[in-house]
Amino acid sequence: MRSSTYSNVCRDDELLDREPRHLIIVGNGMACHRLLEALVKAPGRPASITVIGEEPVPAYNRILLSPLLSGETSRDALTLREARWYADNAITLRLNERVLAIDTAARHIDIDRGRLAFDELVLATGSTPALPEIPGIELDGVHAFRSVSDAGALDAIARRGGKSVVVGGGLLGLEAAEGLRKRGGDALEVSVLHRSAWLMNRQLDIYAGGLLKTTLERRGLAIHTDASIVAIESDAQGRVAEVTLEDGRTLEAASVIIAAGVTPNMALGQRAGLDCERAILVDHHLRTSHPSIFALGECCQFQSHTFGLVEPIWRQVDTLAQVLSGAPITPYVEAPTATRLKISGIDLYAFGPVEQSDAHDTLYYCDPEANEYRRLLLKNGRIKGAVLFGDTAQGPWYFNQALNAADLSKARPALVFGQADVETLLAADTAQPSPTQEAA
Examine the domain organization and report whether 270 and 371 are in the same domain.
no
Examine the domain organization and report whether 123 and 38 are in the same domain.
yes
Q: Which of 224, 349, 295 is nearest to 32 (CA)?
A: 295
Q: Domain for residue 2, yes or no? A: no
In the chain, pLDDT over 70 holds for what percent of residues? Answer: 93
User: Measured between alpha carbons, how far is 369 from 351 in angstroms, rounded to an integer?
Assistant: 25
Strand 250-252 and strand 240-245: pairing?
A: antiparallel
Cα pseudo-dihedral 149, 154, 160, 165, rounded to 10: 150
In the chain, pLDDT over 90 holds for what percent of residues? Answer: 84
User: Measured between alpha carbons, how far is 424 from 60 in angstroms, rounded to an integer?
Assistant: 45
Mean pLDDT of 72-97: 95
Where does a domain end: 260, 284, 303? 260
Q: Domain for residue 317, yes or no? A: yes
Predicted confidence at residue 436, as pLDDT, reads 52
Q: Domain for residue 440, yes or no? A: no
Per the CB < 8 A criterion, the answer to whether 163 and 189 are in contact is: yes
User: Measured between alpha carbons, how far is 92 from 321 in angstroms, rounded to an integer?
Assistant: 18
Examine the domain organization and report whether 146 and 159 are in the same domain.
yes
Examine the domain organization and report whether 251 and 152 are in the same domain.
yes
Q: How many structural domains are present in the chain?
A: 3
Q: Domain for residue 82, yes or no? A: yes
User: Measured between alpha carbons, how far is 202 from 341 in angstroms, rounded to an integer?
Assistant: 13
Residue 180, domain CATH: 3.50.50.60
Per the CB < 8 A criterion, the answer to whether 282 and 295 are in contact is: yes
Predicted confidence at residue 341, as pLDDT, reads 84
pLDDT by residue (tens digit) across 255-282? 999 999 899 999 999 999 999 999 999 9
Examine the domain organization and report whether 162 and 229 are in the same domain.
yes
Q: Domain for residue 408, yes or no? A: yes
Mean pLDDT lowest among 321-325, 396-400, 414-418, 433-437 = 433-437
pLDDT by residue (tens digit) across 199-234? 999 999 999 999 999 999 999 999 999 999 999 999
Per the CB < 8 A criterion, the answer to whether 215 and 371 are in contact is: yes
Residue 360, domain CATH: 3.30.390.30
Predicted confidence at residue 5, as pLDDT, reads 30
pLDDT by residue (tens digit) across 156-191? 999 999 999 999 999 999 999 999 999 999 999 999
pLDDT by residue (tens digit) across 14-31? 443 445 589 999 999 999
User: Measured between alpha carbons, how far is 213 from 174 in angstroms, rounded to an integer?
Assistant: 10
Residue 12 has pLDDT above 70, yes or no: no
Examine the domain organization and report whether 235 and 269 are in the same domain.
no
Examine the domain organization and report whether 253 and 166 are in the same domain.
yes
Examine the domain organization and report whether 268 and 122 are in the same domain.
yes
Where does a domain end: 236, 260, 284? 260
The DSSP code for 306 is -
Q: Domain for residue 439, yes or no? A: no
List, as one string, the DSSP characters of 329-380: P---------EEEEETTEEEEEES-SS--TT-EEEEEEETTTTEEEEEEEET
Instruction: For residue 365, report the phi and psi dihedrals to the nearest 5 degrees.
Output: -140, 130
Residue 124: count other Cβ atoms within 10 Å of its Cβ: 30
User: Measured between alpha carbons, how far is 55 from 14 in angstroms, rounded to an integer?
Assistant: 27
pLDDT by residue (tens digit) across 132-159? 999 999 999 999 999 999 999 999 999 9
Q: Domain for residue 11, yes or no? A: no
Examine the domain organization and report whether 297 and 371 are in the same domain.
no
Examine the domain organization and report whether 283 and 254 are in the same domain.
no
Question: What is the domain extent for residue 423?
Answer: 339-431
Q: Domain for residue 5, yes or no? A: no
Examine the domain organization and report whether 347 and 407 are in the same domain.
yes
Examine the domain organization and report whether 121 and 166 are in the same domain.
no
Strand 262-264 and strand 127-129: pairing?
A: antiparallel
